[in-house]
Amino acid sequence: MKVEDIKKILVVGAGTMGHGIAEIAAISGYKVYLSDISQDILNNALERIRWSLSKLQERGQIKESVDTIMSRITTIVGLDKTVSDADFSIEASTERMDIKRQVFSKLDELLPSHAILATNTSSLPITKIAEATKRPDKVVGMHFFNPPVLMQLVEVMKGDKTSDETAKVTYDLAKKFGKQPIMINKDVPGYVVNRILGQINVASCVLVEKKVADYREVDAVARYKLGFPMGVYELIDYTGVDVAYYVSKSREELGIRDDIPICSLIEQKFKNNELGVKTGKGFYTYPAPGKYVKPELPKELADKLNPVLILAGAVNEAARLLREGIASRDDIDLGVRLGLGLPKGIFQYADELGIDNVIKALEDLKALSGYSVFSPDPLLTQMVGENKLGIKTGSGFYTYGKVEEKKLNTLIIRIEPPLAWIILNRPERLNALNPELVSELDKSLDELEGRSDVRVVIITGNGRAFSAGADVSSFITLRPIDVIRLRTLRNVVNKIALYTKPIIAGINGFALGGGLELAMACDIRIASEVAQLGQPEINIGVIPGAGGTQRLPRLVGKGKAKLMIYTGDMVSADDAYKMGLVDLIVPANRFEEEVRRVALKIAEKSPISLLAAKLAIELGYESNIWTGQTLESTLFGLLFTTKDVEEGVKAFLEKRKPQFKGE
């Protein structure tokens, strides 16, 4: 059978899912039979479909009239010979094996021999349902997400006996419905997406139970560091603590994992009848039962917890699904993006976080909980053995540009597409800026500017310092005229200020004098919590000479700048953050990962709009608001001539991530 042979579709069960699935089938032009156990339920379903269609019509999302689409749906109480010309059935009845088996046995009896019998079950084995029929090769899982009309993803899953043809036709039908299907080759409880979500929940529970973090910190990291649309506990509140409770309870029955007890936090909330949004209180408090307001989470709550701890279990699960051939890399990532609304697939996250860090996190989680589910999957261990650590080594689950490392006399240049690191490398002199270093920095910046595979440049230091400033030992021999002529550092600093790629200062330690001036010219300053910053030139009888007297007051205000410059005192990273001298503080032991995470986020954007934003901000800031706004609107208009904007708008409408080429 081919998808083109399908003319009539039977949907069994007209509840939450069934009515939505029937609606999609009718919108897609199919004749639909919708069956349930009473006419009342069916009438209610028809009303819900009509209401939903009218909403779609208001938004211009359907081409035909509501009546035309409705006229394709015929309701049937129970199942009888009427449905014997259906080519495809989708069962969405109550989630009970006995009911499903009864329904399937009846369908097998009534439907023509070519018909495919799909089930929308969330958790019951397809193979067991298929056993109720004489056509197990034609029984398949077709898992929609709630609400089916809006959610793009459909998981197609084979039972032990499902034929390739059945799976293919089902996949193609999901496409005809305008959905994005993914293929799951083996009957695994929970399909792909819910298994992965399940592991995010398990790890998040361990972190709170073992007091590594509190639940708000987990949620803040999920939202602010990993870009989840909702925090882990926020989502549990949203879908219902009771749902999470029953899913965990049935885990054993489903054979998903046997050594993970139910999360004590969820059990506690469940027992207190604090079920989340529906009761007005769960992990968070809501204004009234059923009234959802997004919980407030201060950004600072995301500072402490290592994000990889939340995702490591999920990466491990995904690696297993991939290694066992249950689903492909691309399908798993697509599923995670569309099914969970995450900005990236789980393997993309893993590559960014570093596979070595994922394994370390798994070991930590295992030590905390004792759960064997956190034993690293052999695929991950193998990847580490092959130095496939993700973006930082140029390959992980995906392949990136080739990582190159070049050692100059005073710098290490590490190209890790789309990022480039310039590492000041005179650690024995706290990366003091001698003429050779400045000149190598100057040339390297020019070189990197010309490379299209480099989207963001990071300047950081090797060892304890970012840079402790000019090499004072060379000052002794200088005459005043030499100093005035010595424009090199100033030139490099100015080059950075108007550099055409985003440039980040990764302040790993001391940033003093010229070192701080260098950092201040960068677009963004990310400091390690141990960093110390200062303009100590006054201590040797001079003043900052590479823009310090100009950029420091622009960042922190005149008073604070004078205080720093007059006293020559250093400020801590924390104080620097409070004054606005640095933009982000990150833990010292995760410094590189955190800087990389921010840089990669920027690297995903259009290089042309990044440049336009930079010019508008930098030049506008130094002129007046009218000139600045004129520049802004000119650049704004110019951007509409780029292919990147075309791609950006298209991707937005198609609900996918844009691939900007900088054209």
Q: Which positions are annotated as active-site residues?
A: 517, 537
Least distance to ligand NAD, CB of residue 16, Å: 4
For ligand NAD, give the closer residue by CB, 36 or 594: 36
- 602 within 8 A of 610, measured Cβ to Cβ: yes
Question: Which residues make up the interface to ligand NAD (CB under 6 A)?
Answer: 12-18, 35-37, 41, 92-95, 99, 103, 120-122, 143-144, 146
Lookup result for tokens 């909702």? 230
Torsion region of 428: left, alpha or beta (phi above 0 gives left; psi -120 to 50 gives alpha): alpha
For ligand NAD, give the closer residue by CB, 126 or 260: 126
Least distance to ligand NAD, CB of residue 124, Å: 7
For ligand NAD, give the closer residue by CB, 174 or 457: 174
Cα dihedral 96, 98, 101, 102 in deg (nearest 10): -120
Which pairing describes strands 571-572 and 532-534: parallel, antiparallel, or unpaired?
antiparallel
Amino acid found at 84: S
Task: For 525, list phi and psi in degrees, rounded to 5.
Answer: -115, 120
Q: Cα separation of 409 and 514, whole Å?
A: 19
For ligand NAD, give the closer residue by CB, 144 or 233: 144
For ligand NAD, give the closer residue by CB, 278 or 344: 278
Bridge partners, residue 347, by sequence: none
- The first and second tokens of residue 616, run together, are 């508008």
Least distance to ligand NAD, CB of residue 320, Å: 23
Cα dihedral 127, 130, 135, 140 in deg (nearest 10): -70
Neighbours of 227 (CB within 10 A): 13
Which pairing describes strands 510-512 and 503-507: parallel, antiparallel, or unpaired?
unpaired
- What are the residues whose beta carbons fall under 8 Å from the beta carbon of 225, sequence distance 6 or more? 302, 307, 597
Determine which helix (DSSP H) or strand (DSSP E) holds 2, and give its type and residue range: none
Q: Cα separation of 19 and 34, whole Å?
A: 8
- 139 within 8 A of 104, measured Cβ to Cβ: yes
Helix axes 625-639, 607-622, angle to 10 degrees: 170
With b meaning 16 or more CB within 10 Å and e meaning fewer, what string describes 251-277?
A: beeeebbeebebbebbbebbeeebbbb
Lookup result for tokens 């690696």? 319
- The first and second tokens of residue 615, run together, are 């010019």
Determine which helix (DSSP H) or strand (DSSP E) holds 154, and give its type and residue range: strand 153-158
Helix (H, G, I), strand (E, B) or coil at 108: helix
DSSP H helical ranges for 35-125? 39-58, 66-70, 97-110
Least distance to ligand NAD, CB of residue 119, Å: 7
Least distance to ligand NAD, CB of residue 103, Å: 5
With b meaning 16 or more CB within 10 Å and e meaning fewer, what string describes 529-561?
A: ebbbbbbbbeeeeeebbbbbbebbbebbeeebb
Q: Cα separation of 505 and 524, whole Å?
A: 6
Q: Cα separation of 17 and 438, whole Å?
A: 64
Least distance to ligand NAD, CB of residue 456, Å: 40
Least distance to ligand NAD, CB of residue 151, Å: 9
Q: Cα separation of 580 and 444, whole Å?
A: 28
Least distance to ligand NAD, CB of residue 59, Å: 23
Least distance to ligand NAD, CB of residue 9, Å: 15
Q: Of all residues in this chain, which one has the CB nearest to ligand NAD in the complex? A: 15
- 332 within 8 A of 321, measured Cβ to Cβ: yes
Cα dihedral 576, 577, 581, 583 in deg (nearest 10): 150
Residue 350 burial (10 A CB sphere; 0-12, 13-18, 19+): buried
Least distance to ligand NAD, CB of residue 349, Å: 24
